[in-house]
Structure 1
Amino acid sequence: MAKRDVDIVVISDVHLGTYGCHAKELLRYLKSIRPKQVILNGDIIDVWQFSKSYWPEAHMKVVRRILKFVTEGIPVYYLTGNHDEMLRKFADFNLGKFQLLNKMVLEVDHKKAWIFHGDVFDVTMQHSKWLAKLGAIGYDTLIILNSMVNWFLTAFGKQKMSFSQKIKGKVKEAVKFINHFEQTAADLAVDKQYDYVICGHIHHADIREIRATDNSGSVLYLNSGDWVESLTALEYVNGGWTIFKYNPADFNTEPDEEDKADSEELQSSMDVKVLLEKFKIETH
Structure 2
Amino acid sequence: MSNAAKSNKQHYPAIWISDVHLGYKDCKADYLLDFLNSVESDTLYLVGDIIDLWSMKRQFYWHSSHYQVLNSIQQKAANGTRVIYIPGNHDETFRNYVDQTLFGVEVHQQFIHTTKANKRFLLVHGDEFDIATRYNKLISIAGDAGYDFLLFLNRWINRIRKVFGGNYYSLAAWIKARIHKAREAIEAFEDAAIREAKKQKVDGIICGHIHHPKIKVDDGILYCNDGDWIESCTALVEQKDGKIELLHWSDTQTVLDSTDITKLAAPIVSSVEAKPKKTAA
Query: Shorter-chain TM-score category?
Result: 0.7 to 0.9
Mapped pair 1:244 → 2:247? yes
Matches within 5 A, 1:19-58: 19-50=25-56, 53-58=60-65
After TM superposition, give the deviation of residue 158 of structure 1 in Å.
6.0
The match for 2:81 among 69, 74, 80 is 74
- Count of residues in correspondence between the two structures: 244
Residues of 2 paired with 1:158 and 1:38: CA distance? 31
Q: What is aligned with 1:63?
A: 70
After TM superposition, give the deviation of residue 137 of structure 1 in Å.
4.2
After TM superposition, give the deviation of residue 54 of structure 1 in Å.
1.7
In our comparison, the structure showing a higher alpha carbon Rg is 1
Q: TM-score, normalised by structure 1?
A: 0.78
Which structure 1 segments of 5+ residues have no match?
A: 212-217, 252-284
Say what the alpha-carbon RMSD is for the aligned residues: 2.8
Measured at CA, do residues 69 and 134 of structure 1 come closer, stay the same or move farther in structure 2, by a change above 3 Å?
closer
The match for 1:183 among 183, 188, 191 is 191
Mapped pair 1:229 → 2:236? no
Letter in 2 for 1:80: P
Moved more, 238-247 or 40-49: 238-247
Matches within 5 A, 1:32-181: 32-50=38-56, 53-95=60-102, 97-109=104-116, 110-123=118-131, 136-156=144-164, 161-181=169-189
Residues 154-212 of structure 1: per-residue CA shift (max 9 Å, x gap): 3355665433112211110100111111111112211221012111011111111111x
The 3-state SS of whatever aligns with 1:68 is helix
After TM superposition, give the deviation of residue 124 of structure 1 in Å.
9.0
Measured at CA, do residues 177 and 126 of structure 1 come closer, stay the same or move farther in structure 2, by a change above 3 Å?
closer
Moved more, 72-81 or 143-152: 143-152
Which structure 2 segments of 5+ residues have no match?
A: 255-281
Higher helix share: 1
Moved more, 136-145 or 38-47: 136-145
Letter in 1 for 2:53: V
Measured at CA, do residues 128 and 161 of structure 1 come closer, stay the same or move farther in structure 2, by a change above 3 Å?
closer
Residues of 1 paired with 2:214 and 2:192: CA distance? 15
The 3-state SS of whatever aligns with 2:54 is coil
The 3-state SS of whatever aligns with 2:93 is helix
After TM superposition, give the deviation of residue 244 of structure 1 in Å.
1.1
Residues of 2 paired with 1:235 and 1:160: CA distance? 21
Q: What is aligned with 1:276?
A: none
Residues of 2 paired with 1:107 and 1:6: CA distance? 14
Q: TM-score, normalised by structure 2?
A: 0.78
Moved more, 22-31 or 115-124: 115-124
Measured at CA, do residues 235 and 134 of structure 1 come closer, stay the same or move farther in structure 2, by a change above 3 Å?
closer
Residues of 2 paired with 1:155 and 1:14: CA distance? 26
Mapped pair 1:16 → 2:19? no
